Structure 1
Amino acid sequence: MLIATWITVLLLSISSSIDNFGVGISYGIRKIKVGFVANGIISAIAFVFSMVGIYSGRFLADLFPGTTAEIIATAFLFVIGIRIIMLTFPPKKEKQQTDESVTGVITGYLHSPEKADLDQSGEIGFYEAIVLGIAISMNALTNGLGAGLMNVSPLALSLISALFSFGSIWLGVALGSKIANITIGKWSIGQFSTALSGVILLGIALHNLL
């Protein structure tokens, strides 16, 4: 692949995994363990979601050949980037209520990752890893869809996304207790990481316009 394509793959992988880093930090702060097997399950889900997203994007690219697919990819990444940034802002108190929809559950795990520790054992188990993996791999799915529209290599992006997923959770848990009190402006490290994920997608979208 061309250098520009590799850079796109790396940026998409980083964007897909930054939420994982924030989740890992949250677990590290709360002393919740994520073992090798659980982290591997989460990474495998990220791989699968990324592949599904990319091939779905390629299917759409075949329906909209030429520059149309690139325009759709750019618009898609831009919208997703804006939405991810908006997730960093907490909802107004008067509107805070339990949302049992799929989107509500996923957003709930991103805002409060400790909810994935269903049995409150202090360690993410097999089934909990599946639930958490699905919740935090949605970025890999949507990013993969945009990448498919840009004709990015499915295997390369999926493998790197899975590796970044594993590494970011491990690093986040390891650093969590040490950086618990660090803030960037009014944002915690986890919120800043999520916002950065959205900014990266906006950067890729703007690059495609050039």
Structure 2
Amino acid sequence: MTWLLIAGFAISSSIDNFGVGLSYGVQRVRIPFTSNALIAAICFIFSLIGIISGAWLAEMLPGILPDLIAFAVLSVIGIRIMIIAFRQQRKHQANVFSEPEKMDFDGSSHISLGEALLLGIALSANALTNGVGAGLLALSPIAIALSAAVGSYITLSIGVGLGAKLAGVQIGKMSVGQFGTFMSGVIILLIAVTRLL
């Protein structure tokens, strides 16, 4: 069960990378190994910070309170992610942190290390909040952070590779990337429910 929870957190933390990768693939923007590795490293750091914070909270709280707070925090995160997926259906003016697929500032068709730094921060917001929830559940910090980082690297690479073929595909009213974001929220909600079982 523990490894299923870790896998769930890893998928949820990195599913946005897949959607962003699809967007880059369509635009023929490449993400070199070093840039993708930097993004994964940032994801690792953010996850670790979140987990340590969550574990500290768990130690401070008595009895079943950590489980109840974990349920509440993860539920809010899951619902928020699902709402974001629905909002993505309507294009609106936003900065690079809410639309990370626009991070190729210089139009060079590849993501430089500087752009990767900003992109990594933008994509690691989920990893940070998910990490707090994982810390409250007393899951292994290294296992969560490593799985999130590896998941980040893999999903971004796969997204870029499949972008040209899948970005135009619709699942209901959602694009593949939006559906992935929505499912990320569903996964987090399912993890939240396990706290009450």
Q: TM-score range by the shorter chain?
A: over 0.9
Give the one of 6, 9, 13 matched to 1:9.
6
Aligned ranges 1:80-91 → 2 under 5 Å: 80-90=77-87
Q: Which residue of 2 aligns with 1:106?
A: 97
Q: Superposition RMSD on alpha carbons, in Å?
A: 1.7
In structure 1, how many angstroms separate the alpha carbons of the residues matched to 2:114 and 2:45? 17
User: How many matched pairs?
Assistant: 197
Question: Are 2:10 and 2:148, in contact at CA under 8 Å, matched by a contact in 1?
Answer: yes
Q: Which residue of 2 aligns with 1:129?
A: 116
* Paired residue secondary structure (1:209): coil
AA at the equivalent of 2:160: V
In structure 1, how many angstroms separate the alpha carbons of the residues matched to 2:104 and 2:153? 18
Q: Which residue of 2 aligns with 1:192?
A: 179
In structure 1, how many angstroms separate the alpha carbons of the residues matched to 2:20 and 2:59? 36
Question: Are 2:17 and 2:155, in contact at CA under 8 Å, matched by a contact in 1?
Answer: yes
AA at the equivalent of 2:35: A
Give the one of 34, 38, 57 matched to 1:37.
34
Aligned ranges 1:31-110 → 2 under 5 Å: 31-90=28-87, 96-97=92-93, 105-109=96-100
In structure 1, how many angstroms separate the alpha carbons of the residues matched to 2:68 and 2:28? 44
Deviation, structure 1 residue 208: 1.2
In structure 1, how many angstroms separate the alpha carbons of the residues matched to 2:106 and 2:84? 26
Question: Are 2:55 and 2:135, in contact at CA under 8 Å, matched by a contact in 1?
Answer: yes
TM-score when normalising by structure 2: 0.95
